[in-house]
Each structure stands twice: as C-alpha cells, then as structure tokens.
Amino acid sequence: MDKKELRKIVFSRRREASDEEVKEKSRAIFEQIMRNDHYRNASSVFCYIDHKHEVMTREFIEQCWRDGKKVAVPKVNGKIMNFYYIEYFGQLEPGVMGILEPVTHCPGIVQNADHDEGALFIIPGVAFDGERHRIGYGGGYYDKYQAEHTRHTTMAVAFEFQVFDAVPFDAYDICPRYLVTENRIIQ
C-alpha cells in the first residue's frame, strides 16, 4: 500500500472509533508514558494538540502541568514548525487546518521553546510499523523539526489500528525512538 492509501484507511478507522474508545485508549497510551523514566526525568514536554480523533493529548498536557513540567506545543510558520510554551489552553487559537496553535501575535503571551533540546517529544502520526517507520500528514513538519533538533527523546503515539506490518518510508523520514500504543511500547 502507498502512503495515500494508508492515510485513507487510518482516517476511516479514526472516524469509526467512538469518542469513548478514543478517550480510553488515549489514557492507556499516556499512562504508559507517565510510568516511563523519560517522562519522570523530563522537565519539559513537547506535545501536539490532538485533532479529529487522534490520540487525545489534553488530559496528558494537564497532567504534565500538575507534575510541574513545562509544556510546549507546535505552531506552523510557513513551511516550518516551531514549539512554544503554554501555561493554559486559553493561549491557543485555531491555526493551520483548524488545529489549535499557540497565540504568538501578542508578544509576551507565549515563549518560543525551540532552544529546549532536552524535552520529551510526543509525536503524532497517521500510520506506523513495527520498525517505528512513520507516515505523517504529508507536510514533513515533524521530520524537518527532528532533523534540526536531534537531542529530544522522541515518543510517537498511536492506536493499535494505526500500526501495520510495513509502511513505505523515504530516506529523509525520521523514526521516533519509541512508539507507544494502548497495548505496548515498541523501541
């Protein structure tokens, strides 16, 4: 299967999943992450804001704050992506494709976090395989970011129905260090 076909399959599976199923499986994924030393030892976490039945991140982000961690979320700026610290969800507004992004047009509200190279980095994706190859949404934002910021511990999150025997990949694609599903951690 090619990337386009795999995206179509996964988007269909995500639409078919109930809100409760997505919430329950998301909690199971992040419970595994929070038990991991990489989470416990991290002072900051870079995490996406979920959209359209992706692995849900809101409860996880709230737990990060309760655990005293700084949280940064992405904003697309042209062809690149940058991360910005947020302290509450009111610092977000709809951005590219309607995905919530940090408000950056008001100086002082959020700070750029790209200098924070040691953060735990939670990565979304559309489809994965057991070797941790990742198919994203097609913009290459996460691969570009990881190519420039190489010191993060990267954990991709996905539902089991997003994991296939094999997915196509290119030489420039960057595999996350871990892939966490509701059932397992692949490294």
What does the mean pLDDT of the chain come to? 94
Q: Is residue 107's pLDDT more than 70?
A: no
Residues 6+ apart with CB under 8 A from 77: none
Q: Is residue 109's pLDDT more than 90?
A: no
Q: Is residue 96's pLDDT more than 90?
A: no
**What's the confidence (pLDDT) of residue 110?**
79
- Could you tell me the pLDDT band of residue 173, with boundaries at 50, 70 and 90? confident
Write out the CATH class of domain 3-186.
Answer: alpha beta
* Percentage of the chain modeled with pLDDT above 70: 98
Name the phi and psi angles at 96, rounded to 5. -55, 130
- Could you tell me the pLDDT band of residue 128, with boundaries at 50, 70 and 90? very high
**What is the chain's alpha carbon radius of gyration, rounded to the nearest angstrom?**
16
Q: Is residue 124's pLDDT more than 80?
A: yes
Angle at alpha carbon of residue 184, lines to 156 and 68, rounded to 5°: 55
pLDDT tens-digit series, residues 44-87: 999 999 999 999 999 999 999 999 999 999 999 988 999 999 99
